[in-house]
Amino acid sequence: MLEEMLEEVLEEMLEEVLEEVLEALEEVLEEMLEEMLEEMLEEMLEEMLEEVLEEMLEEVLEEMLEEVLEALEEMLEEVLEEVLEALEEMLEEMLEEVLEEVLEALEEVLEEMLEEVLEALEEMLEEMLEEMLEEVLEEVLEEVLEALEEVLEEMLEEVLEEEVLQDRITMPSHASSHMRSTLLFDNRYS
């Protein structure tokens, strides 16, 4: 009897303990499952969110980059145009100044060269004219002197011939010679 009672009591105690253990295990398992599920869900959500966020960020960043690049391109084009215009104006002004200076320098050099050339030509022409005039004058003088000499010789011959003829016709020999000499003297110095 005692044994049966003990067995029953032990069975009841074991059942109670088993129930409590099972309940505790069930609670622990439920908590563990809940935690695991929560962690899994969180991880899945995080992964999904990360993927979605990455895609969204990539799209947003691409759009922003495109807009920024377009804006930068427009700004750079405007800046380049302004810079090129400013450079063109500066170059034109510099070229004008340089051209003016070069032209002034060339004008001065050409004026100096022309003055030197004109002076040299003037000197050369003066020398040439002097030489030519001297030669022409010498030739003219020679010709004039020769012509005068010929004319004088002819005139003297004619005068002498006329005197001789007159002496022979009008005067004796002694008187004619005397008169001829006086006539010659008078004709030479008159």
Give the whole-angstrom CA distance, residue 98 versus residue 31.
Answer: 93
Delimit the domains of the chain by residue range: 11-189
pLDDT value for 188: 47
Phi and psi of 171, rounded to 5°?
-125, 155
pLDDT of residue 58: 84
| pLDDT, position 12 | 77
Instruction: Give pLDDT, residue 112.
Output: 92
The token pair at 145 is 């002197």
The whole-number pLDDT of residue 175 equals: 46
> What is the pLDDT at residue 170?
65
pLDDT per 10-residue tile (average), the chain, 190 residues:
70 79 84 85 83 82 89 90 91 90 92 92 90 88 89 85 74 50 49
- Residue written as tokens 């295990």? 25
Residue type present at position 147: A
What's the confidence (pLDDT) of residue 35?
A: 86
Q: Write down the pLDDT at residue 171.
A: 55
* The pLDDT value given to residue 172: 52
> From the DSSP assignment, how many helices (H) and strands (E) are in the chain?
2, 0
Q: Give the per-residue pLDDT at 51.
A: 82
The pTM assigned to this predicted structure is: 0.33
Contact yes or no for 184/163 (Cβ under 8 A) = yes
Distances in Å between the Cα of 183 and the Cα atoms of 129, 149, 152, 171, 187 are 48, 21, 17, 13, 6
What are the angstrom distances between the C-alpha of 88 and each of 29, 78, 91, 101, 158? 84, 15, 5, 20, 99
